[in-house]
Amino acid sequence: MSVPARLVFSDVDETLIRCKSMFDFLDFHFGRRYGRRGTERAREVRETLAALSASGTPREHANRVYYRAWTGEPAHLVAASGAEWFERRSAAGSFYIPETRNALLGHRADGAAVVLVSGSFPAILDPIAADIGAVHLVCSRPEVRDGVLTGELVGEPVIGGEKRAAVRRLLSAHPHIDAADCHAYGDHISDLPMLTEVGHPVVVGDRDLAGRLPGGLFLPGDDGALSAGA
């Protein structure tokens, strides 16, 4: 692989794709595998997570609660389900936010390496990374033991400060690249630690967040127009 000219970091949910992938995939997998019982299980998990969010529970903790719902699922079946989920969702034509996807493809054409950074997990993200041509995938990693998901994570959820740490690790591994030349795309306050690590932060869909990044750009996500964030 050629040496990249710069790195471009991108969140996934509601930045690159329109949906909240973890919830959508939860419904997809459990509904198809277990029928009505699985659909009800997925609904219970979503309600629990909504209650945690409403109570102000940190997203990092809620992320771990989500992965505990996968306890006992065979890893190979989850991966196969993820591939099918991507094939079905992406075929609909409204899966990606086209402005972000086009921007990332443009960066690739200019010699940048695309890095997807997400609290989601490989079963969901691997097909997206392959389709978008991402060189690196930094995400939450479910623990697998004897081929089965344990419900725990290997390491920390990739949220907030972990996204900043991911940017710094990759920049350290590419000492020829200046952070000031790099781009990052995000849509949520939890992406702010990642966005502030690069010279060209781009906020998708949230003008208030863009306003917190002097010199950053705002991407509406509907007409592709870029404007100054502050």
As a whole number of angstroms, the distance between CA 29 and CA 33 comes to 6
Q: Which residues are bridge partners to 139 per DSSP?
A: 118
Tell me the domains of the chain and their CATH numbers.
6-228 (3.40.50.1000)
Q: Is the pLDDT of residue 225 over 50?
A: no
Q: Is the pLDDT of residue 81 over 70?
A: yes
What tokens were used for 57? 């529970």
Output the pTM of the full model: 0.93
Average pLDDT for 157-181 = 96
At 1, is the pLDDT very low, low, confident or very high (cuts 50, 70, 90)?
Answer: low
Say if CB 81 and CB 29 are below 8 A apart.
Answer: yes
pLDDT digits (tens, 9 = 90+) for 175-194: 999 999 999 999 999 999 99
Say if CB 198 and CB 179 are below 8 A apart.
Answer: yes
Output the pLDDT for position 212.
86
Neighbours of 127 (CB within 10 A): 19
Q: Is the pLDDT of residue 134 over 80?
A: yes
